[in-house]
Amino acid sequence: MKIGFMGLGQMGKHMAMNLLKCGEEIVVNDLRTDSYPEFEAKGAKTTKNLKDIAECDIIFLSLPDTKVVKAVLLGQLLGNLKKGQVVADLSTINYTASTEIAKALEEKGVEFMDAPVSGMEARAKDGTVTVMCGGKKEIFDLLMPYFQCMGSNILHMGVHGCGQLTKAINNILFDINIAAFAEILPMAIKLGLDPEQIGSVVNSSSGKSYASEFFIPRILKRNFGDGYPLEHAYKDLVSGAELGAQLCIPLPVMHAAATTYQMAMLKGLGHKDKGAMTCVFEDLLGVKYEKK
Protein backbone atom coordinates (compact mmCIF):
# COMPACT_ATOMS: atom_id res chain seq x y z
CA MET A 1 0.00 0.00 0.00
CA LYS A 2 1.34 3.43 -0.98
CA ILE A 3 0.32 6.32 1.29
CA GLY A 4 0.48 10.00 0.36
CA PHE A 5 0.43 12.86 2.88
CA MET A 6 -0.01 16.51 1.90
CA GLY A 7 0.57 19.34 4.37
CA LEU A 8 3.46 19.34 6.83
CA GLY A 9 2.43 22.30 8.95
CA GLN A 10 2.11 22.61 12.71
CA MET A 11 -0.15 19.55 13.00
CA GLY A 12 0.44 17.76 9.72
CA LYS A 13 4.18 17.31 10.17
CA HIS A 14 3.73 15.35 13.38
CA MET A 15 0.81 13.30 12.08
CA ALA A 16 2.76 12.38 8.96
CA MET A 17 5.75 11.44 11.08
CA ASN A 18 3.57 9.18 13.23
CA LEU A 19 2.09 7.63 10.11
CA LEU A 20 5.53 6.22 9.35
CA LYS A 21 4.78 3.70 12.11
CA CYS A 22 2.28 1.95 9.84
CA GLY A 23 5.10 0.28 7.91
CA GLU A 24 3.79 1.27 4.47
CA GLU A 25 5.55 3.30 1.77
CA ILE A 26 4.96 6.98 2.62
CA VAL A 27 5.20 9.93 0.22
CA VAL A 28 4.98 13.45 1.71
CA ASN A 29 4.42 16.83 0.10
CA ASP A 30 4.33 20.44 1.21
CA LEU A 31 4.95 23.84 -0.34
CA ARG A 32 7.75 24.32 2.17
CA THR A 33 10.53 21.76 2.02
CA ASP A 34 12.40 22.55 5.24
CA SER A 35 11.11 19.37 6.94
CA TYR A 36 11.92 17.09 3.98
CA PRO A 37 15.38 16.00 5.26
CA GLU A 38 13.81 14.78 8.52
CA PHE A 39 11.32 12.61 6.63
CA GLU A 40 13.93 11.34 4.19
CA ALA A 41 16.14 10.31 7.13
CA LYS A 42 13.31 8.13 8.39
CA GLY A 43 12.72 6.43 5.05
CA ALA A 44 9.86 8.48 3.61
CA LYS A 45 9.85 9.74 0.05
CA THR A 46 9.47 13.51 -0.42
CA THR A 47 8.11 15.17 -3.54
CA LYS A 48 7.21 18.55 -5.00
CA ASN A 49 5.23 16.88 -7.77
CA LEU A 50 1.53 16.39 -6.99
CA LYS A 51 1.37 13.57 -9.55
CA ASP A 52 3.41 11.48 -7.10
CA ILE A 53 0.70 12.05 -4.49
CA ALA A 54 -2.08 11.35 -6.99
CA GLU A 55 -0.60 7.90 -7.64
CA CYS A 56 -0.95 6.82 -4.00
CA ASP A 57 -3.57 4.31 -2.90
CA ILE A 58 -4.56 6.41 0.12
CA ILE A 59 -4.05 10.17 0.34
CA PHE A 60 -4.16 12.13 3.60
CA LEU A 61 -4.52 15.90 3.61
CA SER A 62 -3.69 18.31 6.43
CA LEU A 63 -4.17 21.71 4.83
CA PRO A 64 -4.95 25.20 6.21
CA ASP A 65 -8.56 25.87 5.21
CA THR A 66 -11.51 25.20 2.91
CA LYS A 67 -10.15 27.27 0.03
CA VAL A 68 -6.85 25.39 -0.05
CA VAL A 69 -8.44 21.95 0.29
CA LYS A 70 -10.84 22.64 -2.60
CA ALA A 71 -8.06 24.07 -4.75
CA VAL A 72 -5.83 21.05 -4.16
CA LEU A 73 -8.43 18.30 -4.39
CA LEU A 74 -10.79 19.63 -7.04
CA GLY A 75 -8.36 21.82 -8.94
CA GLN A 76 -5.06 19.91 -8.88
CA LEU A 77 -5.53 16.28 -7.90
CA LEU A 78 -8.97 15.31 -9.17
CA GLY A 79 -7.98 14.93 -12.82
CA ASN A 80 -5.26 12.43 -11.90
CA LEU A 81 -7.20 10.35 -9.38
CA LYS A 82 -8.55 6.93 -10.30
CA LYS A 83 -11.35 4.66 -9.20
CA GLY A 84 -10.60 2.80 -5.98
CA GLN A 85 -8.36 5.40 -4.40
CA VAL A 86 -9.18 6.82 -0.96
CA VAL A 87 -8.79 10.43 0.20
CA ALA A 88 -8.94 11.25 3.92
CA ASP A 89 -9.06 14.94 4.78
CA LEU A 90 -7.60 15.67 8.22
CA SER A 91 -8.04 19.42 7.68
CA THR A 92 -10.71 21.51 9.37
CA ILE A 93 -12.95 22.91 6.63
CA ASN A 94 -16.50 24.03 5.98
CA TYR A 95 -19.15 21.31 6.44
CA THR A 96 -20.94 22.11 3.17
CA ALA A 97 -17.68 22.17 1.21
CA SER A 98 -16.77 18.77 2.63
CA THR A 99 -20.00 17.21 1.36
CA GLU A 100 -19.45 18.84 -2.05
CA ILE A 101 -15.93 17.40 -2.23
CA ALA A 102 -17.22 13.94 -1.28
CA LYS A 103 -19.76 14.07 -4.10
CA ALA A 104 -17.20 15.23 -6.69
CA LEU A 105 -14.73 12.50 -5.73
CA GLU A 106 -17.31 9.73 -5.61
CA GLU A 107 -18.46 10.64 -9.14
CA LYS A 108 -14.97 9.50 -10.18
CA GLY A 109 -15.15 6.39 -8.02
CA VAL A 110 -12.76 7.84 -5.41
CA GLU A 111 -13.73 7.24 -1.79
CA PHE A 112 -13.66 10.17 0.62
CA MET A 113 -13.53 10.48 4.40
CA ASP A 114 -13.71 13.82 6.20
CA ALA A 115 -11.56 13.25 9.28
CA PRO A 116 -10.70 16.50 11.09
CA VAL A 117 -8.61 16.17 14.23
CA SER A 118 -8.77 17.81 17.64
CA GLY A 119 -5.83 18.38 19.92
CA MET A 120 -3.02 20.90 19.80
CA GLU A 121 0.50 20.37 18.49
CA ALA A 122 1.67 18.42 21.54
CA ARG A 123 -1.02 15.76 20.98
CA ALA A 124 -0.25 15.59 17.27
CA LYS A 125 3.37 14.94 18.20
CA ASP A 126 2.39 12.28 20.76
CA GLY A 127 0.00 10.59 18.35
CA THR A 128 -2.98 11.15 20.65
CA VAL A 129 -5.27 13.45 18.65
CA THR A 130 -9.01 12.80 18.43
CA VAL A 131 -10.14 11.97 14.88
CA MET A 132 -13.79 12.60 13.94
CA CYS A 133 -14.79 10.80 10.75
CA GLY A 134 -17.61 11.18 8.25
CA GLY A 135 -18.14 8.75 5.39
CA LYS A 136 -18.78 5.09 4.66
CA LYS A 137 -18.22 2.70 7.56
CA GLU A 138 -16.21 0.31 5.39
CA ILE A 139 -13.81 3.12 4.44
CA PHE A 140 -13.53 4.10 8.10
CA ASP A 141 -12.60 0.50 8.92
CA LEU A 142 -10.04 0.47 6.10
CA LEU A 143 -8.41 3.65 7.41
CA MET A 144 -8.53 2.73 11.08
CA PRO A 145 -4.98 1.26 11.29
CA TYR A 146 -3.59 4.49 9.86
CA PHE A 147 -5.72 6.71 12.10
CA GLN A 148 -4.47 4.70 15.07
CA CYS A 149 -0.89 5.71 14.22
CA MET A 150 -1.93 9.37 14.59
CA GLY A 151 -4.66 9.40 17.22
CA SER A 152 -5.95 7.74 20.36
CA ASN A 153 -9.67 8.49 20.06
CA ILE A 154 -11.02 7.68 16.58
CA LEU A 155 -14.76 7.98 16.05
CA HIS A 156 -17.06 7.27 13.11
CA MET A 157 -19.64 10.05 13.40
CA GLY A 158 -21.82 9.18 10.39
CA VAL A 159 -22.13 10.07 6.71
CA HIS A 160 -19.99 12.52 4.75
CA GLY A 161 -19.68 15.86 6.52
CA CYS A 162 -20.38 14.50 9.99
CA GLY A 163 -16.70 14.62 10.92
CA GLN A 164 -16.47 18.29 10.01
CA LEU A 165 -19.78 19.01 11.71
CA THR A 166 -18.54 17.37 14.92
CA LYS A 167 -15.27 19.31 14.79
CA ALA A 168 -17.15 22.58 14.22
CA ILE A 169 -19.39 21.99 17.25
CA ASN A 170 -16.40 21.17 19.46
CA ASN A 171 -14.46 24.20 18.20
CA ILE A 172 -17.40 26.57 18.66
CA LEU A 173 -17.76 25.51 22.29
CA PHE A 174 -14.01 26.03 22.79
CA ASP A 175 -14.12 29.41 21.03
CA ILE A 176 -17.06 30.61 23.12
CA ASN A 177 -15.29 29.61 26.32
CA ILE A 178 -12.18 31.62 25.46
CA ALA A 179 -14.21 34.68 24.48
CA ALA A 180 -16.02 34.46 27.83
CA PHE A 181 -12.97 34.55 30.09
CA ALA A 182 -11.25 37.10 27.81
CA GLU A 183 -14.13 39.39 28.73
CA ILE A 184 -14.47 38.50 32.41
CA LEU A 185 -10.84 38.38 33.58
CA PRO A 186 -10.14 42.08 32.84
CA MET A 187 -13.32 42.93 34.76
CA ALA A 188 -11.89 41.05 37.76
CA ILE A 189 -8.74 43.19 37.61
CA LYS A 190 -10.77 46.38 37.22
CA LEU A 191 -12.59 45.47 40.44
CA GLY A 192 -9.30 45.06 42.29
CA LEU A 193 -8.75 41.29 42.32
CA ASP A 194 -5.26 39.83 42.01
CA PRO A 195 -4.61 38.38 38.50
CA GLU A 196 -2.78 35.25 39.62
CA GLN A 197 -5.18 34.50 42.44
CA ILE A 198 -8.32 34.80 40.30
CA GLY A 199 -6.65 32.60 37.67
CA SER A 200 -5.85 30.04 40.34
CA VAL A 201 -9.44 30.05 41.58
CA VAL A 202 -10.89 29.63 38.07
CA ASN A 203 -8.53 26.77 37.27
CA SER A 204 -9.26 24.90 40.49
CA SER A 205 -13.01 25.51 40.64
CA SER A 206 -16.19 25.20 38.61
CA GLY A 207 -15.07 27.84 36.09
CA LYS A 208 -12.23 25.57 34.94
CA SER A 209 -12.01 24.28 31.38
CA TYR A 210 -9.36 22.99 29.02
CA ALA A 211 -9.31 26.48 27.50
CA SER A 212 -8.76 28.22 30.84
CA GLU A 213 -6.03 25.77 31.87
CA PHE A 214 -4.18 26.33 28.61
CA PHE A 215 -4.64 30.07 28.12
CA ILE A 216 -4.81 31.72 31.55
CA PRO A 217 -1.16 30.98 32.50
CA ARG A 218 -0.06 32.23 29.10
CA ILE A 219 -2.13 35.42 29.28
CA LEU A 220 -0.60 36.17 32.68
CA LYS A 221 2.83 35.99 31.01
CA ARG A 222 1.58 38.03 28.00
CA ASN A 223 2.30 35.06 25.77
CA PHE A 224 -0.07 35.19 22.80
CA GLY A 225 1.84 32.99 20.39
CA ASP A 226 1.35 29.39 21.54
CA GLY A 227 -2.11 28.66 20.17
CA TYR A 228 -3.89 28.66 16.83
CA PRO A 229 -4.26 32.19 15.31
CA LEU A 230 -7.67 33.59 16.21
CA GLU A 231 -8.30 34.81 12.65
CA HIS A 232 -8.15 31.15 11.54
CA ALA A 233 -10.30 29.95 14.43
CA TYR A 234 -12.95 32.49 13.41
CA LYS A 235 -13.90 30.26 10.47
CA ASP A 236 -15.66 27.86 12.83
CA LEU A 237 -17.91 30.64 14.10
CA VAL A 238 -18.66 31.63 10.49
CA SER A 239 -19.58 28.01 9.71
CA GLY A 240 -21.84 27.91 12.77
CA ALA A 241 -23.53 31.13 11.73
CA GLU A 242 -24.11 29.82 8.20
CA LEU A 243 -25.67 26.59 9.48
CA GLY A 244 -27.79 28.49 11.99
CA ALA A 245 -29.08 30.79 9.25
CA GLN A 246 -29.79 27.93 6.84
CA LEU A 247 -31.64 25.83 9.41
CA CYS A 248 -33.20 28.69 11.40
CA ILE A 249 -31.39 27.70 14.60
CA PRO A 250 -30.92 30.60 17.07
CA LEU A 251 -27.34 30.79 18.42
CA PRO A 252 -27.21 33.98 20.51
CA VAL A 253 -24.20 33.06 22.69
CA MET A 254 -22.17 32.01 19.64
CA HIS A 255 -22.96 35.28 17.87
CA ALA A 256 -21.88 37.23 20.95
CA ALA A 257 -18.57 35.35 21.00
CA ALA A 258 -18.12 36.04 17.28
CA THR A 259 -18.38 39.77 18.04
CA THR A 260 -15.40 39.47 20.40
CA TYR A 261 -13.37 37.75 17.69
CA GLN A 262 -14.33 40.49 15.24
CA MET A 263 -13.27 43.21 17.70
CA ALA A 264 -9.91 41.50 18.22
CA MET A 265 -9.28 41.15 14.50
CA LEU A 266 -10.21 44.79 13.88
CA LYS A 267 -7.57 45.72 16.47
CA GLY A 268 -4.97 43.85 14.41
CA LEU A 269 -4.74 40.83 16.74
CA GLY A 270 -5.83 38.20 14.23
CA HIS A 271 -2.36 36.68 13.88
CA LYS A 272 -2.12 36.10 17.64
CA ASP A 273 -3.71 33.20 19.50
CA LYS A 274 -7.18 33.38 21.02
CA GLY A 275 -5.92 34.49 24.42
CA ALA A 276 -5.15 37.85 22.80
CA MET A 277 -8.88 38.65 22.87
CA THR A 278 -8.25 39.62 26.50
CA CYS A 279 -6.40 42.69 25.17
CA VAL A 280 -9.64 44.07 23.71
CA PHE A 281 -11.28 44.32 27.12
CA GLU A 282 -8.07 45.36 28.86
CA ASP A 283 -7.93 48.38 26.58
CA LEU A 284 -11.59 49.21 27.20
CA LEU A 285 -11.14 49.04 30.99
CA GLY A 286 -7.63 50.46 31.20
CA VAL A 287 -6.16 47.39 32.95
CA LYS A 288 -3.88 44.46 32.20
CA TYR A 289 -4.36 40.86 33.22
CA GLU A 290 -0.72 40.04 33.85
CA LYS A 291 1.60 38.52 36.41
CA LYS A 292 2.79 41.08 38.96
Q: Any idea which residues carry the catalytic annotation?
A: 167
CA dist., res. 121 & res. 91, Å (int): 14
- Say if residues 277 and 260 touch (Cβ distance below 8 Å): yes
**What is the spatial distance between Cα 177 and Cα 208, in angstroms, rounded to a whole number?**
10
234 and 263 Cβ atoms separated by less than 8 Å:
no
280 vs 266: CA distance, rounded Å: 10
d(Cα 72, Cα 160) in Å, to the nearest integer?
A: 19
What is the C-alpha R_g of the chain? 20
Concatenate the DSSP letters of all residues of 166-200 into one string: HHHHHHHHHHHHHHHHHHHHHHHHHTT--HHHHHH
**How far apart are alpha carbons 142 and 29 in whole angstroms?**
23
